[in-house]
């Protein structure tokens, strides 16, 4: 287990063994300054030369254990995490598309979001290392995910959330039996408090861009996409971006496949943000990082200081990724179009990725016959309030055929 992987700092290159819990590079993180993304984020490295001899089919059959930072699949929760469907869409609003759209529906995870991938791996690692209390900061999805996974694993979850988090997500957390700590402040305030609790109280921390194992959980969708596409890679993958962790996880998964020689190139990954929370896309090309306070309907990607900015930036620059900023109106229109054309109801953050694809279609950026994956990262049932302005509930009728005909003719 100790020799299976090690950690490497994305900034200075320092390496850390896996024999104890590590969150960030001690040297680089000491240089952090207020209002700036943290330095010293760690990346998990495997013994790729040894793994190369193992064929992809064998790894697939073994649920990619060789590329996960755990010793046994038995440590994972007894729930179906991952292995989510990839649906193909051939037309929108009755118009046939000249390219392929593939929807990766991670709302079908146990707590209805992509975050279960990370929670499952973090929980399994904790289980193998005798840790029974896990804390995280969350705007809702990561918290409900950790709460649900810990309920399945008989572990204690402590969830810190901004007080304005959606009630549906907070309800999940409470129903799963976790300890819910609302914080009078932002996600960043909750994040900082959870890190202080980890240092002073010894709780294991699940925070994305702090615990490097979250990336390892989130990368598994890349393996699945490669498998579901029968050994091909898509031309583009549209990803909603907030903290920069999901996009980094998808990059990491395909990078693992590159390093093992299973693929020859990286797909173009498009990071899509709301203009109300664009602190990654706006800063990628900037000489220095500046914060714009976030205000967007897509609460799951509403982040002032993207904790994984530096890793996401490195991946995007190294592999010629793309970023896109769209409005909240575009996000909600995308949610409506997606629902009416596919039967998939996505929360605003997930609809952001689909909005990015619609934007590229409008700008004629999608080549004919190209294959384009959209990451749908969470269910619309998690945030019903956001769609209320778009819908109008019909008034009740006197139950007669005449009245029915008036409404349906």
* Section 224-232 average pLDDT: 96
Question: Would the CA dihedral through 65, 244, 355, 269 be positive or negative?
Answer: negative
Taking the C-alpha atoms of residue 24 and residue 89, their distance in angstroms, rounded to an integer, is 41
Taking the C-alpha atoms of residue 256 and residue 261, their distance in angstroms, rounded to an integer, is 9
Output 59 or 361, whichever has higher pLDDT.
361
Determine how many CB atoms are found less than 10 A away from the CB of residue 127. Answer: 19
Taking the C-alpha atoms of residue 68 and residue 57, their distance in angstroms, rounded to an integer, is 16
- Domains of the chain, each with CATH number or no CATH: 86-111+214-390 (3.40.50.1100)
Asked if 13 contacts 25 with a C-beta cutoff of 8 angstroms, the reply is: no
Examine the pLDDT at 211 and tell me if it is beyond 60: yes
Examine the pLDDT at 19 and tell me if it is beyond 90: no
* Section 71-100 average pLDDT: 94
Q: The tokens of 404 are what?
A: 């029915």
Examine the pLDDT at 2 and tell me if it is beyond 70: no
Which residue has tokens 């399945």? Answer: 152
pTM of the predicted structure, to 2 decimals:
0.94
* Section 91-101 average pLDDT: 92
Examine the pLDDT at 231 and tell me if it is beyond 90: yes
Output 223 or 21, whichever has higher pLDDT.
223
How far CA 111 is from CA of 86, 107, 142, in Å, comes to 18, 8, 10
**Strands 15-17, 268-274: pairing kind:** unpaired
**What's the pLDDT tens digit per position in 155-194?**
999 999 988 877 877 888 999 999 999 999 888 889 899 9
Examine the pLDDT at 1 and tell me if it is beyond 50: no
Nearby residues of 112 by Cβ (< 8 Å), 6 or more positions away: 378, 379, 381, 382
- Size (the chain), residues: 409
Taking the C-alpha atoms of residue 361 and residue 385, their distance in angstroms, rounded to an integer, is 28
- Smallest CA-to-CA distance from 150 within 119, 114, 117 is with 119
pLDDT band at 27 (very low <50, low <70, confident <90, very high): very high
Residue 234's SS3 state is: coil
Taking the C-alpha atoms of residue 247 and residue 314, their distance in angstroms, rounded to an integer, is 11
Taking the C-alpha atoms of residue 356 and residue 272, their distance in angstroms, rounded to an integer, is 6
Nearby residues of 397 by Cβ (< 8 Å), 6 or more positions away: 403, 404, 407
Residue 282's SS3 state is: coil
Q: Which of 1-5, 155-159, 219-223 has the lowest mean pLDDT?
A: 1-5
* Section 28-57 average pLDDT: 92
**What's the pLDDT tens digit per position in 103-157?**
999 999 999 999 999 999 999 999 999 999 999 998 878 899 999 999 999 999 9
């Amino acid at each position: 287990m100790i020799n299976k992987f090690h950690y490497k700092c994305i900034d200075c290159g320092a390496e850390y063994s896996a024999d104890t819990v590590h969150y960030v590079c001690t040297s680089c993180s000491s240089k952090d300054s207020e209002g700036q993304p943290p330095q010293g984020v760690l990346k998990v490295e495997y013994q790729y030369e040894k793994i190369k001899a193992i064929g992809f089919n064998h790894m697939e059959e073994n649920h990619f254990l060789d590329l996960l930072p755990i010793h046994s699949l038995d440590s994972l929760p007894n729930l179906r995490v991952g292995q989510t469907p990839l649906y193909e869409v051939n037309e929108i609003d009755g118009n046939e598309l000249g390219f392929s759209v593939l929807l990766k529906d991670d709302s079908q995870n146990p707590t209805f979001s992509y975050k279960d991938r990370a929670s499952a791996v973090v929980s399994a690692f904790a289980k193998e290392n005798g840790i029974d209390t896990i804390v995280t900061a969350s705007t809702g999805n990561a918290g409900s995910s950790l709460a649900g996974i810990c309920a399945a694993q008989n572990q204690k979850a402590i969830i810190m959330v901004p007080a304005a988090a959606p009630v549906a997500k907070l309800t999940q957390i409470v129903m799963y039996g976790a300890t819910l700590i609302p914080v009078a402040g932002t996600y960043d305030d909750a994040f900082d408090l959870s890190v202080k609790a980890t240092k002073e109280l010894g709780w294991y921390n699940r925070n994305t861009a702090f615990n490097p194992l979250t990336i390892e959980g989130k990368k598994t969708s890349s393996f699945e996409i490669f498998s579901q596409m029968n050994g091909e890679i898509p031309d583009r993958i549209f990803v909603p971006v907030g903290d920069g962790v999901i996009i980094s996880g998808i990059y990491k998964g395909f990078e693992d496949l590159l390093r093992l020689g299973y693929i020859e190139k990286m797909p173009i990954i498009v990071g899509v943000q709301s203009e109300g929370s664009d602190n990654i896309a706006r800063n990628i090309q900037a000489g220095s990082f500046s914060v714009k306070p976030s205000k967007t309907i897509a609460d799951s990607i509403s982040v002032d200081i993207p904790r994984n900015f530096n890793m996401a930036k490195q991946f995007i620059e190294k592999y010629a990724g793309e970023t896109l900023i769209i409005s909240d109106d575009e996000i909600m229109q995308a949610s409506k179009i997606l629902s009416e054309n596919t039967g998939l109801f996505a929360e605003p953050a997930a609809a952001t990725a689909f909005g990015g694809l619609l934007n590229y279609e409008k700008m004629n950026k999608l080549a004919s016959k190209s294959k384009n994956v959209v990451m749908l990262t969470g269910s619309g049932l998690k945030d019903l309030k956001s769609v209320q302005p778009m819908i109008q509930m019909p008034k009740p009728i006197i139950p007669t055929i005449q009245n029915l005909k008036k409404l349906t003719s």
